[in-house]
Amino acid sequence: MRTALVTSSGGEYSVTVGAGVSGSLGNSLRSLFPGLRRLGIISNPVVWSLHGPSILSHLGADLRTVVALHPDGEPAKTMATILALLDRFIEERWERRDPFLVAGGGVTGDMGGLVAGLLLRGVPLVHLPTTVVAQVDSAIGGKTGVDHPLGKNLIGLFNPPRAVLSDPGFLRTLPLAQRRAGLGEVIKYAFIGDRALFTLLSERIEELVSDDFHAGLWEEVVFLSSADKAGIVSRDERESGERMLLNFGHTFGHALEGAMGYSGILHGEAVALGMLSAARISGAMGLSTPATFGAIRDLLRRAGLPVTWPGGISFEHIAPYLGRDKKSSRGQVALVLPEEPGSVRIVRDYDPALLSQGVFS
């Protein structure tokens, strides 16, 4: 097991990655919360039916648990679900000293983190992420939230966890399409600064999307990516500077998801295309050579991710969504543009006409 540390406004916490994380779950929770007597578990029926029994078996018999399952999927990431989860724990007469374990993908993590932040003005939480996206991204950094009909993640708060426990073994049951989409975010870390990860992916990316699950390689990839995110959010928790780099691929990615009504494309697939959009714009501005675009496309292709825009989606379709990005300031969205593998640049002043270069066939 390996650990990366995060410093946050809520204190320091560790992200532990390794196959042994699940087996020592009970011990980890007891050392984080001495005197632990009751644990709230937030999960969903898909994750819980696959992994609930083993999670419970690792907690120890003397621990009381209250398991609250929310409906699966992004459409359930709403305030209505948050209120139902709050109801459940209020009816259980929850107390502030009783922590939550949030077990699932990014949807579960974002909602579990919000519920923990709201209930009784704050109940401590531990993330047990079970998807690639959750392990390398959403469980780290303290962002929580739900969607609003007018946009994704518009309601939420910063609520850092007390620990993140990542067992890559959970990824064994993840559908291959979800594993591939998670690699979209992993490739992002390689391009925004992690040259070691870039080398590893360049050598072995096919093994990460093969039918048999390469546990050791996944552990390495999850750890390197987690350490990248841990470092960035430690240096810039509230996204005033460096954290913006994590938005690489997301400006066009989010706009594409919006234009498609958040269906028919996974987030990581949209990010994959968004990274190519950024590379096209960077090329048009003279900040990168065609080799950079080629390097991104090559990795995406080998991971089985899309490299051409979905038919029927033109720049006119996505343009209204570009300005809506939460990261925009004064109407002009800041672009995170690749220079070469391992190096990106934030560009705020540019000719808006260049944005149309981001949609390509």
Instruction: Give the residue numbers marked as catalytic.
Output: 121, 143, 185, 229, 239, 243, 247, 250, 254, 267
DSSP 11-28: EEEEEEESTTTTTTHHHH
Half-sphere CA count of 345, side-chain side, radius 13 A: 14
- Report the nearest approach of ligand NAD to the CB of residue 259 (Å): 17
User: What's the rounded Cα separation, in Å, for the pair 322 and 333?
Assistant: 7
Cβ-proximal residue to ligand NAD, closest one: 106
Closest CA to 105 of 221, 323, 267: 267
Contacts of 349 by beta carbon, 8 Å cutoff, 6+ apart: 332
User: What's the rounded Cα separation, in Å, for the pair 231 and 248?
Assistant: 16
- Report the nearest approach of ligand NAD to the CB of residue 246 (Å): 8
Binding residues (CB under 6 A) for ligand NAD: these are 44, 46-47, 50, 72-74, 77, 104-108, 110, 130-131, 133-134, 137-138, 141, 143, 152-153, 170, 173-174, 178, 267
- Report the nearest approach of ligand NAD to the CB of residue 103 (Å): 9
Helices 79-91 and 106-118, packing angle to 10 deg: 60
Token representation of residue 14: 């560790």
- Report the nearest approach of ligand NAD to the CB of residue 266 (Å): 7
Q: Which is nearer to ligand NAD, 305 or 355 (CB)?
A: 305
Instruction: Decide if 26 contacts 232 (C-beta within 8 A).
Output: no
